[in-house]
Amino acid sequence: STPFKIAAIPGDGIGKEVMPEGLRVLEAAARRFDIPLEFTQIDWASCDHYAKTGQMMPDDWKAQLQGHDAIYFGAVGWPATVPDHVSLWGSLLKFRREFDQYINLRPARLFEGVPCPLAGRKAGDIDFMIVRENTEGEYTNLGGVMYEGTEREIVIQESVFSRFGADRVLKYAFELAQSRQRKHLTVATKSNGIAISMPWWDKRADAVGADFPEVTVDKQHIDILSARFVLQPSRFDVVVASNLFGDILSDLGPACTGTIGLAPSANLNPERRFPSLFEPVHGSAPDIYGKNIANPVAMIWSGALMLHFLGRRDAHDAIVKAIERVLIEGPRTGDLGGSASTTEMGKAIAALI
């Protein structure tokens, strides 16, 4: 059968250390489940590439990637040499937008064997999905500085939302909630403070929700919603949010389950007109790079999500099971109280496939 074409982009920092483990596990799954995978190794979309060429990616990046079924991505960012807004806007955020990966999907789930920072919670108590709008909203470079460099400096930053963009992510979230047992959707908002976009966002949630009478809906302001991730995490099932609010909640959710170093993320173009992108949530973590101590689970789990998206649920489930087992039995990296290296933990997971 035609192989799936995967572009593997390690990027910066620990992205380069966890990528080999991700590939190791994907290759093991490919062998076991007879999945034809074909990898393209790509060293751009990195600050190293920027140092050499003055840009994050070659001019023909889109043409080079377009033929692929998915992008398997490590992390980008090396602020010591390239400011974050330059490296991110020159790579990851370009992918999300130009490949129209409008859904960013991130799980928050409590695992056995992973210490939970919240008191008195056990595996099974917390299990929800965050659906983040991934292409518009608060993340823009629109606006500017007036009276620049003077005491009268004024800065305008514009957020841009569209009905097209809001409705499709709300619809995706309602459908996801509908497909789950509890059928509950939380909509993040801040309509009491952000007076134009957020009341409008609330109205779009009502309009889209009209088609999903079985889904119960709860609108919550982002301030109290963040607080409830800590205080009442079991009440959540699916949470939908704008780009910025989704960014915050999808770090906070995994933090509450102790899995911030473990959390995967899927940047989806559900219609598959463009390649979707799968990446760990943790980022490039310059502070621990170079020691081979980064936890590879987020990268490996992201690979599982990729196979799921490509229609291979069997392989996804096998990888997640292997992760669950290694989290309980070890070997574990330092962040989980163990002393295993990135490589050792990756090999152990691969061996269980």
Q: Which residues contact ligand IPM by CB under 6 A? A: 88, 192-193, 223, 247, 283
- Cα distance between residue 134 and residue 265, in whole Å: 12
Closer CB to a copy of itself, residue 259 or residue 276?
Answer: 259
Smallest distance, ligand IPM to C-beta of residue 117, A: 19
The only residue of 27, 58, 171, 244 in contact with a copy of itself, by rule CB under 8 A: 244
Using alpha carbons, list the distances in angstroms from residue 126 to 39, 109, 131, 215: 35, 5, 16, 19
Closer CB to ligand IPM, residue 4 or residue 50?
Answer: 50
Smallest distance, a copy of itself to C-beta of residue 121, A: 9
Between vectors from CA 267 to CA 264 and to CA 273, what angle results, nearest 5°? 145
Which tokens is 24 given? 């190791």
Residues 252-291 touching a copy of itself, rule: CB under 8 A, are 252, 254-256, 260, 283
Paired with 187 in beta bridges are 219, 240
The only residue of 5, 89, 175, 218 in contact with a copy of itself, by rule CB under 8 A: 89
Count, residues near a copy of itself per rule CB under 8 A: 68
Which option in ligand IPM, a copy of itself, none does residue 217 bind, with CB closer than 5 to 8 A by kind? none
Closer CB to ligand IPM, residue 193 or residue 311?
Answer: 193
Which option in ligand IPM, a copy of itself, none does residue 75 bind, with CB closer than 5 to 8 A by kind? none
Smallest distance, a copy of itself to C-beta of residue 221, A: 8
In which element (H, E) is residue 172 found? helix 163-179
- Cα distance between residue 72 and residue 6, in whole Å: 7
Which option in ligand IPM, a copy of itself, none does residue 353 bind, with CB closer than 5 to 8 A by kind? none
Cα end-to-end distance, the chain, whole Å:
22
Between vectors from CA 266 to CA 248 and to CA 31, what angle results, nearest 5°? 145
- Cα distance between residue 244 and residue 227, in whole Å: 17
Please say whether the beta carbons of 291 and 332 come within 8 A.
no
Which tokens is 36 given? 């034809």
Smallest distance, ligand IPM to C-beta of residue 123, A: 25
The SS3 call for residue 257 is coil
Which option in a copy of itself, ligand IPM, none does residue 54 bind, with CB closer than 5 to 8 A by kind? none
Smallest distance, ligand IPM to C-beta of residue 85, A: 8
Please say whether the beta carbons of 347 and 326 come within 8 A.
no
Closer CB to ligand IPM, residue 29 or residue 130?
Answer: 130
Residues 103-142 touching a copy of itself, rule: CB under 8 A, are 115-120, 138-142
The only residue of 175, 200, 330, 334 in contact with a copy of itself, by rule CB under 8 A: 200
Closer CB to a copy of itself, residue 283 or residue 303?
Answer: 283
CB under 8 Å to 203, separation ≥6 — which residues? none
Closer CB to ligand IPM, residue 4 or residue 102?
Answer: 102
- Cα distance between residue 273 and residue 270, in whole Å: 8
Please say whether the beta carbons of 298 and 263 come within 8 A.
yes
The only residue of 231, 290, 328, 351 in contact with a copy of itself, by rule CB under 8 A: 231
| Spacing of C-alpha 344 from chain mean position | 24
The site for a copy of itself (CB under 8 A) is made up of 77, 83-85, 87-89, 93, 115-120, 138-145, 150-164, 190-200, 222-224, 226-228, 230-231, 243-244, 247-248, 250-252, 254-256, 260, 283
